[in-house]
């Protein structure tokens, strides 16, 4: 989808950037700007700024910056056309239609349309087909009300090999498009395709905007697998998706809490019981990206693991995530009191009575008892330590290997605890349970901590931003952006004189569009480096007490650059002519005369070098330092009549 620049500018001008970003991270006013903790990296001191006047944001910590489109693209993991659509809907701007119809659809648009059609078809089959009595009876037996099933768009995939395939072909969809959407499979023998979901209750899986991106199918009998999910596609990655997040996110934003369960039905039943801040993982381990999704809306995440073997394995994977995390203080118990001290996501584990999962417990004990279990949830770190202690205890006196492994795991966790009081308390308890001296445990933890800090510093160094541009070039760009009358200097600017690649791109864009403002300039920059540099420069709040004087000074320095550039050109011309012997004496004299005129102009506008009393440059000279810190070249011109 190609959207004209004027439409993008209209959307950008209507977006309340503070309102958009404050839905993700709390902001506090600081003069004309707003500040808060960066939503793109972990920090304790706010380095994230929002400038509503210019319509930009910038983080001085991770150097991320941009406009409303860029924020939505990065935060919600949208491509640019999707970010445009979301903000167009938010601001009420109508996107242009092609030939009077809908905007041209790209590949992702086609997938969304196909998956939404499939969801409608599955829904219709659940409620309209006579042979769907079995799934309807299953819903009733599980206590799922009709209204709840309709709210979650539950559906039914009939028995048979090609019900969906045949219906899709009748609507004009191809087998290849269904294969790309994960709805069919190629036959193992021969040619053709068949339905992926057959004889199953179907759960549509949506993205954060509520658009269907995949499906989960639940067997209605002893068939295996019990749950069958769509494969990963261009729209769906299970490690980056949480079931029902689009429904739960508003409640999470209110309660600042997220409940994480393991099954579709557990999640649906929790919502039906009024616990609407519940989501489910999709047949995969909890990932850092899942935590990042939850962190957008909640401060606390409570994990419910089933009591069976699969639940125990899920708990172990969560502990591994805790051990491997580079920032365990995200879920530390301690919290500072200031507005910006939102350490991230505090992970806790809720334990249900033996034999229960959230679904059965809610049906038997009710919401009040379920909420009591949530209140009693323990921090994941303590839960993980308890499991380690249990494993060590069960190994007995002879289990030296298990004991050594347990001590190492505990030390690794303690090495990452950022809160000193919590670390001391956990260290004492761990040493007591492991039957070792606390000092030995602390020594091992400190060694691991030093290693982790070294690794972290190395990672930060490898991802460090490029060096900043020179002060003159930076001031030039700031002046051109912030003081429109300075645009008269643009004809004097040669981007080739600018060594910093991102700054050079900004100058070239300004020369191509000399009338645009800062927000429109940002949208015309093609790379992350250029956009990040521009937002960083604008976030510095430039001040021009004497704009006319600054313009005059920069004009003088730009003209000096032009003269130096011309001198270098003439120097090369003389050297090449002499080397090739291809120029006559008259041409050589003309070049030398022009060089002298340039030097005379330079001498009349700047102080000559202290060692020289002549307006003519020395016969030979080393590179000289220029006013803006760049090296220039003195022109080496043979005097007329001198031997070559």
- What pLDDT score does 320 carry? 63
Q: How far apart are CA 135 and CA 152, in angstroms?
A: 15
Q: How far apart are CA 230 and CA 237, in angstroms?
A: 10
pLDDT tens for each residue of 232-271? 988 898 988 999 999 999 899 889 899 999 899 999 999 9
Same-domain status, 475 and 566: no
pLDDT at 609 over 50: no
Same-domain status, 341 and 448: yes
Same-domain status, 566 and 580: yes
- What pLDDT score does 35 carry? 92
Same-domain status, 50 and 155: no
Q: Indicate whether 290 belongs to any domain.
A: no
Least confident of 47-51, 99-103, 247-251, 476-480: 99-103
- What pLDDT score does 614 carry? 32
Same-domain status, 126 and 68: no
Which residues, 6+ apart, have CB-to-CB distance to 120 below 8 Å? none
Q: Indicate whether 258 belongs to any domain.
A: no
pLDDT at 464 over 70: no
- Containing domain of residue 405, as a range? 297-460
- What pLDDT score does 314 carry? 60
Average pLDDT, the chain: 78
Same-domain status, 35 and 58: yes
- What pLDDT score does 457 carry? 59
User: Is pLDDT larger for residue 322 or for residue 640?
Assistant: 322
Least confident of 90-94, 458-462, 563-567: 458-462
**Domain limit, last residue, from 91, 116, 131:** 91
- What pLDDT score does 296 carry? 73
- What pLDDT score does 611 carry? 36
Mean pLDDT is highest, among 484-493, 537-546, 567-576, for 484-493
Pairing between β-strand 184-186 and β-strand 56-59 as defined by DSSP bridges: unpaired
- Count how many Cα atoms sit within 13 Å of the Cα of residue 126 in the half-sphere of its side chain: 25
Same-domain status, 140 and 168: yes
Task: Decide if 333 contacts 420 (C-beta within 8 A).
Answer: no
User: Is pLDDT larger for residue 415 or for residue 459?
Assistant: 415
- What pLDDT score does 94 carry? 81
pLDDT at 602 over 80: no
Q: How far apart are CA 387 and CA 382, in angstroms?
A: 9
Pairing between β-strand 212-219 and β-strand 56-59 as defined by DSSP bridges: unpaired
Q: How far apart are CA 230 and CA 198, in angstroms?
A: 13
State the CATH number of the domain containing residue 87. 3.90.580.10
> Tokens in use for 24?
């993700």
- What pLDDT score does 613 carry? 31
**Banded pLDDT at 373 (limits 50, 70, 90):** very high
Same-domain status, 436 and 303: yes
Q: Indicate whether 505 belongs to any domain.
A: yes
pLDDT at 355 over 50: yes
SS3 (DSSP) at 573: helix
Same-domain status, 229 and 326: no
Same-domain status, 404 and 340: yes
pLDDT at 588 over 60: yes
Segment 410-427 shows an average pLDDT of 72
State the CATH number of the domain containing residue 183. 3.90.980.10
Same-domain status, 390 and 354: yes
CB atoms within 10 A of CB 196: 22
> Tokens in use for 345?
């996501």
């Amino acid at each position: 989808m190609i959207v004209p620049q004027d439409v993008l500018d209209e959307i950008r001008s209507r977006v309340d950037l503070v309102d958009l970003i404050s839905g993700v991270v709390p902001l506090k006013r600081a003069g004309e700007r707003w500040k808060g903790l960066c939503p793109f990296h972990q920090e304790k001191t706010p380095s994230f700024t929002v400038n509503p006047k210019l319509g930009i944001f910038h983080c001085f910590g991770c150097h991320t910056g941009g406009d409303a489109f860029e924020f939505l693209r990065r935060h919600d993991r949208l491509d640019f056309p999707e970010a445009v659509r979301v903000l167009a809907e938010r601001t009420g701007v109508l996107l242009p239609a092609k030939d009077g119809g809908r905007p041209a659809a790209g590949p992702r648009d086609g997938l969304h349309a196909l998956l939404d059609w499939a969801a409608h078809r599955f829904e219709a089959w659940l409620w309209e087909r006579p042979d769907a009595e079995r799934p309807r009876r299953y819903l009733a037996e599980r206590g799922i009300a009709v209204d709840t099933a309709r709210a979650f768009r539950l559906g039914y995939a009939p028995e048979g090999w090609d019900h969906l395939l045949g219906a899709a072909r009748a609507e004009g969809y191809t087998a290849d498009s269904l294969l790309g959407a994960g709805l069919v499979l190629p036959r193992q023998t021969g040619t053709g395709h068949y339905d992926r979901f057959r004889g199953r209750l179907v759960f549509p899986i949506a993205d954060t905007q509520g658009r269907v991106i995949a499906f989960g199918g639940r067997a209605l009998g002893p068939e295996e697998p019990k749950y069958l999910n769509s494969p990963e596609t261009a729209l769906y990655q299970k490690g980056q998706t949480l079931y029902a997040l689009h429904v739960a996110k508003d409640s999470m934003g209110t309660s600042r809490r997220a409940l994480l369960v393991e099954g579709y039905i557990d999640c649906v039943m929790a919502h039906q019981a009024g616990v609407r801040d519940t989501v489910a993982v999709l047949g995969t381990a909890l990932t850092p990206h899942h935590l990042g999704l939850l962190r957008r809306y909640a401060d606390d995440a409570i994990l419910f693991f089933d009591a069976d073997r699969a639940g125990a394995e899920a708990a172990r994977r969560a502990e591994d995530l805790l051990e491997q995390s580079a920032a365990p203080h995200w879920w530390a118990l301690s919290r500072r009191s200031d507005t910006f001290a939102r350490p991230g996501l505090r992970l806790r584990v809720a334990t249900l009575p033996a034999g229960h999962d959230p679904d059965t417990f809610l049906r038997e004990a009710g919401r009040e008892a379920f909420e009591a279990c949530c209140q009693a949830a323990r921090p994941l770190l303590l839960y993980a330590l308890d499991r380690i202690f249990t494993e060590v205890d069960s190994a007995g006196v002879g289990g030296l290997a298990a004991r050594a492994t347990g001590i190492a795991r505990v030390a690794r966790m303690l090495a990452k605890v950022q809160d000193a009081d919590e670390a001391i308390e956990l260290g004492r308890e761990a040493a007591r349970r492991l039957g070792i001296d606390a000092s030995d445990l602390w020594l091992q933890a400190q060694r691991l901590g030093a290693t982790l800090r070294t690794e972290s510093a190395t990672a930060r160094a490898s991802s460090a931003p490029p060096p900043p541009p020179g002060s003159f070039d930076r001031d030039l760009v700031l002046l051109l952006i912030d003081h429109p009358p300075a645009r008269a200097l643009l004809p004097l600017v040669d981007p080739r004189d600018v060594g910093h690649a991102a700054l050079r791109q900004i100058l070239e864009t300004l020369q191509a569009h000399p009338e645009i403002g800062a927000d429109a300039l940002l949208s015309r920059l093609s790379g992350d480096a250029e956009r990040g540099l521009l937002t960083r420069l604008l976030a510095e709040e430039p001040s021009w007490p004497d704009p006319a004087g600054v313009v005059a000074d920069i004009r003088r320095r730009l003209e000096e650059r032009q003269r130096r550039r011309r001198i270098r050109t003439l120097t090369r011309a003389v050297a090449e002519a002499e080397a090739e012997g291809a120029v006559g004496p008259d041409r050589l004299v003309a070049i030398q005369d022009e060089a002298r005129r340039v030097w005379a102009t330079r001498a009349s506008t700047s102080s000559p070098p202290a060692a020289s009393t002549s307006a003519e440059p020395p016969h030979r000279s080393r590179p000289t330092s220029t006013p803006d810190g760049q090296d220039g070249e003195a022109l080496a011109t043979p005097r007329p009549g001198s031997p070559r």
